Amino acid sequence: MAELDKIRQFLAAEGILMSFHGPFRHSIIEELGKAVRKHLETETVRKSAMADVFSVFIEAAQNVSNYAKRKDWEEAERARVQNGILVIGRQGEAYQIRCGNFIHPRDAGPLLARLDHLATLDAAGLKALYKKQLHAEVPPEGTGAGLGLIRMARTASQPLCYAIAEGQGGLDFFSLTVTL
């Protein structure tokens, strides 16, 4: 029980409103999404702020679930990459969504390159990239449109914050922080 109180104190000190650690299945994302909305309604935040938190939550969670659905996973790997952590916190007026999941080391380089590129773009550059991707062909196997990170970068009030920690049981750990 003392440990639970430690966790509670940590969450309170970090301004964490909601956290989830577990498999990012669609049914769970739906239920968490409802919980996010209900929670924000009680915080009486502006509709647009609520929409932003919800949008980043969905994009981040569906990125993890889509990634885990790729065909080339071995079953043990798939179970690991489907497990993620998602945390919604608030520091003063600013909401922060943090999301983490395991990725294959071969995906680390391209992902960092994409995020590094997004970091160089201003609002107009992000919009142009968004529009270009909106009209791009989607690979037939894909379940995502390649727009999630761009939308998150456009929604955020600060540049996306990201890191990849190398090698935990053959997988890397990707973490992303979006500050609204």
Partner 1 sequence: MTLAKLDNLMVAATSSSPEVHGDEAAGSLSLQGESYPENSFEFFRPILTWVADFLERDGRALTVDLRLTYLNTSSIKCMMDLLDAMEDAHKAGRAVSLNWYYDQENDRALDLAEEFREDLTLPFHTLPVSPPSNFIA
Our CB check for partner 1 shows the closer of 34 and 117 to be: 34
Our CB check for partner 1 shows the closer of 11 and 147 to be: 147
Q: Which stretch binds partner 1 (CB under 8 A): 4-12, 22-30, 95-103, 167-175?
A: 22-30
Reading the block at residue 156, the tokens are 């955020």
H or E element at residue 170 = none
> What is the DSSP secondary structure assignment for residue 84, as one 8-state letter?
E
Smallest gap from residue 42 Cβ to partner 1 (A): 14
User: By CB under 8 A, how many residues form the interface with partner 1?
Assistant: 31
Residue from 42, 44, 48, 120 in contact with partner 1 (CB under 8 A) = 48
**Cα–chain-centroid distance for residue 73?**
21
Could you say whether residue 62 binds partner 1 (CB under 8 A)?
Answer: yes
Give the Cα separation of 57 and 178 in Å (integer): 10
Could you say whether residue 143 binds partner 1 (CB under 8 A)?
Answer: yes
Three-state DSSP string of 3-62: HHHHHHHHHHHCCEEEEEEEECCHHHHHHHHHHHHHHHHHCCCCHHHHHHHHHHHHHHHH
Our CB check for partner 1 shows the closer of 6 and 26 to be: 26
Residue 165: CA count within 13 A, CB half-sphere: 8
Task: Please give the residue ranges that form the binding site for partner 1 (CB under 8 A).
Answer: 26, 29-31, 33-34, 37, 47-48, 50-52, 54-55, 58-59, 62, 65, 127, 131, 134-135, 138, 142-145, 147-148, 150-151
